[in-house]
Amino acid sequence: MLVRVWRWVRLGRPHFLVGGFVMHALGAALAVYAGGDIDGRLYIAGQIAVTAIQWMTHYANEYFDLAADTANLTPTHWSGGSRVLPNGQLPPCAALVTVLFFAAMAVAAALYAMLALRAGPLALPLIVLALLWAWSYSAPPLRLAARGLGEATVALLVPGMTALVGFYLQAGYIFWPLIVPVVAPLCALQFAMSLSINFPDARGDRAAGKRTLVVRLGPRRAAQLYALSIAAAYALLLRHVLAGWPTLVLALPLLSLPLGALLGWRMLRGDWARPERWNRLAFGSIALLVGSMIVETLALVYLRVRFWSSV
């Protein structure tokens, strides 16, 4: 039984849940920076909804991408799925049942936030929108990842919608001039990270008819798009710093520019074609994104605490 439980946990790829926790915290930190206070119960309800949607997406990927994962002969630690279903360690129905369970959990958390905790009127629509959008990533009828829209979907969902939900649950309103400068560079980094993970999967995806951007564009053009996305993230950070945004929040991620430049350069030099470099490229891309999320969150908290201590 313990072995089967462990396989079920691995099927959901829990190491990818970190981004949801950090981005939800970033959205809440933005709300506090804007002058609000943290409602602990709303924060917990929001995190349950975010994590449930994210985990639902992971299990849905495993179920609906089984053909592509089976055809993938070059999986890595970060790509190719968990290998639990292709290796026959659990039946596919285990993933599908889990998908439905986590979808119901997300809706229940949203309803609780609305009805019991008196969250704003957009709380339920935002969470349901995120749920449906996440479902459409790999599940029919849209199967966005198979149409070359998966990378953009992940970029908008994980940094974008997650931070938006975290902000709205605490603030009760949406203030785009505050949210966009902080979140937009992270969306660009998330887009690049998704591309880096899809390079090892390209052959299996192509064989299964899953046309990700790497498959559609070809690896060379996808590598150029990866480098362009990294450059766009730092250009956005620099633009908002020069426009007068609190320097600490957006300047700290600029310190990672050497890593971003190195990753872009290595990708353009052809590391996408070297299997021994795939894990390193993916890990660097993930570290770049998660590190930027964390330093922005900590900077927002620091600025708010400093303000409180000065009044």
pLDDT for residue 202 = 93
- Record the pTM: 0.95
pLDDT for residue 35 = 86
Q: What letter does residue 78 receive in the DSSP assignment?
A: S
pLDDT for residue 57 = 97
pLDDT for residue 285 = 97
**SS3 for 65?**
coil
> What one-letter code names the amino acid at 78?
W
Q: CA separation (Å) from 192 to 26, 84, 102, 200, 203?
A: 20, 26, 27, 14, 19
What is the CATH code of the structural domain delimited by 2-310?
1.10.600
pLDDT for residue 80 = 87
pLDDT for residue 291 = 95
pLDDT for residue 84 = 95
Residue appearing with tokens 């559609």: 216
CB 190 within 8 A of CB 57: no
Contact residues for 305 (Cβ-Cβ < 8 A; gap 6+): none
Q: What letter does residue 255 receive in the DSSP assignment?
A: G
How far is residue 232's CA from residue 254's CA, in Å, rounded to a whole number?
12
Ranges of the chain with pLDDT below 50? none
pLDDT for residue 73 = 87
> What one-letter code names the amino acid at 249?
V
For the chain, helix (H) and strand (E) counts, in that order, are 15, 0
Residue appearing with tokens 């992940």: 154
pLDDT for residue 1 = 83
